[in-house]
Amino acid sequence: MTLAPKTPSDTRVTSHALMLPEHANHMGHVHGGWIMKLVDENGGLAATRHSRRTVVTVAVEGMVFHRPVVVGSVLQFDARLVWAGRTSMEVEVKVSHEDPIADTLELVHTARMVYVALGADHRPAPVPPLRTTTPEEDALYQEAQERKAARTGK
């Protein structure tokens, strides 16, 4: 079975979340673990859209907190595929603080997550190839390919 290639924009996910008191630590900053959970959900949704299969998280390739997030913040999550192999996919997730009144976005968190698609038998299943369309996407694909080679030795 040949799977039709998809572009990063085909499966991009953008969502928003309001950070509430129950998401915060004693200093009023949102727990990093809460943000990580939302990153994984958004990244997993992008991988699911790409593969049209159930996916599982297999690696966190990188996660950087650029600044604290406080209660009351509106966060925007932007997830897109940057690489696809035979059964695995790498997704880049950018998290920005949105000020809806000033209409501004400030990057607060970046992450790279790796997911594997599963078939009905719960074993790794093939995913469509990723077709890049811009020089930026080409560069992100190459960087992800290098991370995959370093991670797996292949």
pLDDT at 153: 85
pLDDT reading at 118 higher than 80 = yes
pTM (2 d.p.): 0.93
127 near 56, Cβ under 8 Å?
A: no
User: Residue range 6-13: average pLDDT?
Assistant: 95
Provide CATH code, domain 8-152: 3.10.129.10
- Rounded CA gap, 133 and 10, in Å? 11
Distance CA 24, CA 29 (A): 5
> Can you list the alpha helix ranges (DSSP code H) found in 52-128?
none
Q: What pLDDT is recorded for position 94? A: 98
Give yes or no for a contact between 45 and 13, defined as CB atoms under 8 angstroms apart.
Answer: yes
Tell me the domain boundaries of the chain: 8-152
Region 124-153 average pLDDT: 95
The answer, yes or no, to whether residue 20 has pLDDT greater than 90, is: yes
Average pLDDT over the chain reads: 95
Is the pLDDT assigned to residue 66 strictly greater than 70? yes
Give the tens place of pLDDT for each residue, 75-108: 999 999 999 999 999 999 999 999 988 999 999 9
Q: What is the average per-residue pLDDT within 125-134?
A: 97
pLDDT at 154: 79
CB of 21 closer than 8 Å to CB of 29: no
- Whether 1 has a pLDDT exceeding 90, the answer reads no
- Residues listed for the chain: 154
Does 29 have pLDDT greater than 80? yes
Q: Is the pLDDT of residue 54 over 80?
A: yes
pLDDT of 67 > 90? The answer is yes
In this structure, which amino acid lies at residue 147?
Answer: R
